Amino acid sequence: MAAAMTIVLFSAYRSFPADVQGLGHQSLGMLSLTASGLLFCAGPLIPEAVLLFAANSTMLGAAGLMLIGTQLFFGRKPSWWWLALAWVIGMVCLVGWYVITQDYALRVAVFSLLTLSFYVAQLVLLVRHGERHFSSWFFGTLLLVQSLVLLLRLFAALSGAVGTSNASNGAVQGIFLLTANFMTLMMAVGFMTIATRRLQVVMEHRSNSDPLTGVLNRRGFAAAYHREVALMKRHGKPMTLLSIDLDYFKAINDQYGHAVGDRVLVHAAHTTVSALREIDHVARFGGEEFIVLLSGTTAEQAKATAQRIRASLFEARGGDVPDYTVSIGIASQQAPDESLEALMARADAGLYRAKAAGRDRSEAA
């Protein structure tokens, strides 16, 4: 089963977009666990010293690789130094155990503590950076259970209740071995749940976003508009639409080329977003036309916002884009029964007046 979950994780690694990080290292971790299990099963065929170092080092490396995978998933810098340090400590412990004193309990305590540190670190990452979603709660529960089992084994080793070898009988040893085999599979399932959730979020974002500028597309804007209408119905808050068009954009494309024109569009989108609040919505409706939905904003307040957008674009001139200006039409929706098409038509009427009046200005409908 561990080998099967390795294949599942590796398949996801090859299939999921680059936005979902960590799957490759998780699959390597599962592969290491599979190799460790095979080594332990092949005990009679392998010299004891080789088996001791190979099986335990791959098992410790597996837990470290899973931590690296989780760190990459959450966009954190991977702690390769941590994995290397834990591996060195583990190998030194094995040398001491094999050469000086074959104290099985001490070996179990050291490796339980080292492995526990990897799982606790993953749990902390999940608590601090994980999405508040069922997938995170599920994976977090598995990490907590695994950490508690390792903590139990650590205390049992310190109290001398783990026997004298892996083959020793006993309640603690039995619980650990049973749980370890089960959790090997469940940890892979848990990581796949948060990876699948991340994939869903990424695909939804892509389907709702303009690929060039990163702002909303028509589909994403329509969803945002319907949410704002629902707020208007519940709380009576006004909202205002800005229709923004880049002046003489065709001349920019003709003079500088479409690559520069694309940079102008990206520049305009990012500068507009930076001039707004987080609760406002910006969308590209094709070509050089952008739409801004201002939540809880009256027409008078929207005029000040339109002026702020134009001022931000003026201040951000220079660099690798030519100078440009925008014209803005303003229309405020006071009643929730007005359709988006009607509201946009009124904003476009204001935009046409701004164009007719000389461009580089804003006009209310």
DSSP conformational letter for 100: T
Render pLDDT for 273-282 as a digit per residue (tens, 0 to 9): 999 999 999 9
Cβ atoms of 23 and 9 closer than 8 Å: yes
Q: Say whether 288 is catalytic.
A: yes
Query: Which residues, listed in sequence order, are joined to residue 75 by a DSSP beta bridge?
Result: none
Distance CA 168, CA 120 (A): 27
pLDDT-based confidence at 222, cuts 50/70/90?
very high
Question: What pLDDT is stored for residue 135 in this prediction?
Answer: 94
Among the ranges given (166-175, 181-190, 237-246), the one the predictor scored with the smallest mean pLDDT = 166-175
Three-state SS for 279?
Answer: coil
Beta bridge partners of 209: 216
Catalytic residue among 48, 228, 288, 338: 288
Segment 20-44 shows an average pLDDT of 83
The pTM (predicted TM-score) of the whole model is 0.78
Strand, helix or coil for residue 284: strand
pLDDT tens figures, 50-88? 777 888 888 889 999 999 999 999 999 999 999 999 999
Q: Is the dihedral of CA 151, 154, 155, 161 positive or negative?
A: positive
Classify domain 218-364 at the CATH topology level. Alpha-Beta Plaits (3.30.70)
C-alpha atoms less than 13 angstroms from C-alpha of 172 in its C-beta half-sphere? 21
